Amino acid sequence: MIQKQDMIIVSHKQIADHIFELTLRGSLTNEMTSPGQFVHVKIMNGSEPLLRRPISICSIDRENEQFTMLYRVSGSGSGTSTLSQLMKGFTVNVLGPLGNGFPVDELEEGQTALLVGGGIGVPPLYELSKRLTSRGVKVIHILGFQEQKVVFYKEEFTALGETYIATVDGSFGTKGFVTDVIDKLDVTIDGYYTCGPAPMLRAVEQKLSGVDGYISMEQRMGCGVGACLACVCHVQGDDTGTAYKKVCSDGPVFKSKVVVV
Amino acid sequence: MNRLAIELPGLSLKNPIMPASGCFGFGKEYSQFYDLSELGAIMIKATTKEARFGNPTPRVAETSSGMLNAIGLQNPGLDHVMANELPWLTQFDVPIIANVAGSTLEDYIDVARVISTAENVKALELNISCPNVKDGGIAFGTDPKTARELTARVKEVSEVPVYVKLSPNVTSITEMALAVEEGGADGLTMINTLVGMRLDRKTGNPIIANKTGGLSGPAIKPVAIRMVYEVSQRTALPIIAMGGVQDSYDVVDYLSAGASAVAVGTQNFVDPFACPAIIEDLSKIVKEWELEHILDLKGRSWGKHGKTANHRA
Ligand SMILES: Cc1cc2nc3c(=O)[nH]c(=O)nc-3n(C[C@H](O)[C@H](O)[C@H](O)COP(=O)(O)O)c2cc1C
Ligand code: FES
């Protein structure tokens, strides 16, 4: 069930250029079911900033009733820059968990999953990877970033499985895009999961068109619960042009070939 | 006596609070948070004759104490609303105000004729003020003569009272109010959003795909208060006011300025429990302030000038 709760900051630190890791504690954590869901965060009381910010859940620690999210500070004076200044012990108001995440039971023990993330689309793949590996699924991670200084969670992902990094400027790992790494892979993939900017999602969906996959979409949001229609996307194969899916409540994760990325 | 209950043309409201059109869909999403029967009424998303996809994304952008939106009147169309959304809402004990939009006079008439026959639709809200579609009725909302004519024609076919939603994007909103009053409107709802823009700092491009969007939220409240204050003293029509309501004191402000009921829009996104929270706080206010009725506050900002009828239950 979706809840609204003041959650306490138990840790908050910068882990790469403009990238922060925030861990919150509260019973709302118990409502989180699948990796890939997100929360809608009210950074300060009052009207500045006014709207909540959708942020993906990166990892869930049920035992301690806490979860971690990663976010990028989008510029000085932005809501996320205000968020980045909040210290341990402060509370932030969280609405969540929202949306439908990645299904983890579609792959069996011994099968291979390809997890492809780009930039701030990488975090939800971390909880997903933990769930898949705990089922005995073999995971391969391909993570794309702009440049070395914004790379994060390389060790965390490496601990779970094979991990390749691509940077656009070549300052770390393979020079180029995640699809350049996919081209070089020589394994049979049983399923893929991807989250990141739209051009990357499109390229991955196209490249892996013979494989079943799940795609997590990003869109600017208003309500986050399906009421305002800010976050809609078109549906593949719809001739009327009026069919749509809401990223916040029908997604953010969709089976491949369902929505127009 | 229920000190929050209000009688308006077509509407018996348990309290003066209702979600504003476009900020509450057709109620389904928010019904997971509370019982919709707690609300005074529900203003449902704009309905047009045919289904509409609306504008390309991005459709929203945050601004200082507000937001811009250009949804573009996305809705499933009249037939779907009649067959699915309205029947679903009958499980709640709450009057529905149907927001009607169109691009031609005939569109408005066709939608109004049909939607006003739904058993739970107790009033229409003519949306002649959507700034986000070229052909979305704003032409009707900026010219007094066309607005009067549209109101009169819709009145002829509607089975329920007709409220007209006014746009703030005009030189004189009072002139518009008087025109629709002459056309036979039963009430006014105001205000719709103010046209605005936000630019990307790096590229200079508008952030909203539609380029312009409608500004809502606390940022517009001073403008809306001024407009309600002016219009309420010039017409006899009851006003359902909206614009930046976040809490019960904002509601008090609108009633003081001359409104008879208040709608909550953007705040639903900030806090899905906003409406029931405001209703609860209003009951506290009437007790603490020892008011016989919440509408004792109505028009108290006007000073010594006239008093219009209180629309009290
Ligand atoms: C996302 C969004 C969608 C809206 N859609 C409609 C609509 O379909 N019809 C309408 O009459 N007004 C629509 N409005 C305007 C609101 O009903 C309201 O008049 C305005 O937002 C001011 O109130 P607020 O500041 O409380 O949001 C919309 C507003 C928003 C933010
Ligand atoms: S953000 Fe409001 S419908 Fe998705």
What residue numbers bound the domain in which A236 lies? Answer: 218-260
Model pLDDT, residue A77: 77
pLDDT tens for chain A, 261 residues: list them: 999 999 999 999 999 999 999 999 999 999 999 999 999 999 999 999 999 999 999 999 999 999 999 999 988 778 999 999 999 999 999 999 999 999 999 999 999 999 999 999 999 999 999 999 999 999 999 999 999 999 999 999 999 999 999 999 999 999 999 999 999 999 999 999 999 999 999 999 999 999 999 999 999 999 999 999 999 999 999 988 899 999 999 999 999 999 999
Is A173 in the same domain as A251?
A: no
Is A68 in the same domain as A125?
A: no
What residue numbers bound the domain in which B15 lies? Answer: 6-55+72-193+217-297
> Measured between alpha carbons, how far is B51 from B88 in angstroms, rounded to an integer?
19
Strand partners of residue A213: A192
Domain boundary among A73, A98, A123: A98
> Measured between alpha carbons, how far is B47 from B50 in angstroms, rounded to an integer?
8
Model pLDDT, residue B135: 64
Is A162 in the same domain as A145?
A: yes
Is A223 in the same domain as A149?
A: no
Model pLDDT, residue B307: 55
List phi, psi (to 5°) of B39. -75, 150
Is A117 in the same domain as A156?
A: yes
Which secondary structure element, helix H or strand E, spans residue A118, and what is its range? strand A112-118
Annotated ligand binding at A153? The verdict is no
List phi, psi (to 5°) of A83. -55, -40
Q: Mark whether B130 is an active-site residue.
A: yes
The answer to whether B33 contacts A2, with C-beta atoms less than 8 Å apart, is yes
Separation in Å, CA of A62 to nearest CA in chain B: 24
Contact of A212 with A206, CB cutoff 8 Å:
no
Closest partner residue to A51 (CB to CB) among B28, B32, B67 is B67
Which atom of ligand 1 is nearest to B66's Cα? 25
Q: Within 13 Å of residue A80, how many CA atoms lie on the same side as its CB?
A: 17
Query: Vertex A177, ends A244 and A252: CA angle to 5°?
Result: 25
Residue B133 is given by DSSP the state: S
Separation in Å, CA of A211 to nearest CA in chain B: 29
| B201 vs B281, higher pLDDT | B281
Q: Does B268 touch chain A (CB under 8 A)?
A: yes
In CATH, what number is assigned to the domain containing residue A172?
Answer: 3.40.50.80
Percent residues over pLDDT 70 in chain B: 95
Strand partners of residue B19: B264
Annotated ligand binding at B99? The verdict is yes
In CATH, what number is assigned to the domain containing residue B100?
Answer: 3.20.20.70
Give the list of residues 6+ apart from residue B147 with CB closer than 8 angstroms, or none.
B128, B140, B141, B164, B176, B179, B180, B183
Is A206 in the same domain as A243?
A: no
Q: Does B61 touch chain A (CB under 8 A)?
A: yes
Is A31 in the same domain as A78?
A: yes
Give a yes or no: residue B308 inside a domain.
Answer: no
Is A41 in the same domain as A9?
A: yes
Model pLDDT, residue A74: 87
> For B178-227, how does the pLDDT look when each residue is reduced to its tens digit (9 = 90+)?
999 999 999 999 999 999 999 999 999 999 999 999 999 999 999 999 99
In CATH, what number is assigned to the domain containing residue A238?
Answer: 2.10.240.10
- The total domain count for chain B is 1
Domain boundary among A98, A132, A164: A98
Whether B310 shows a pLDDT value over 70: the answer reads no
Domain boundary among A98, A124, A140: A98
Whether B313 shows a pLDDT value over 60: the answer reads no
Give a yes or no: residue B159 inside a domain.
Answer: yes
Is A106 in the same domain as A149?
A: yes
- The total domain count for chain A is 3
Is A8 in the same domain as A88?
A: yes
> For B104-155, how does the pLDDT look when each residue is reduced to its tens digit (9 = 90+)?
999 999 999 999 999 999 999 999 987 777 666 677 889 999 999 999 999 9
Of B75, B73, B70, nearest to B60 by C-alpha is B70
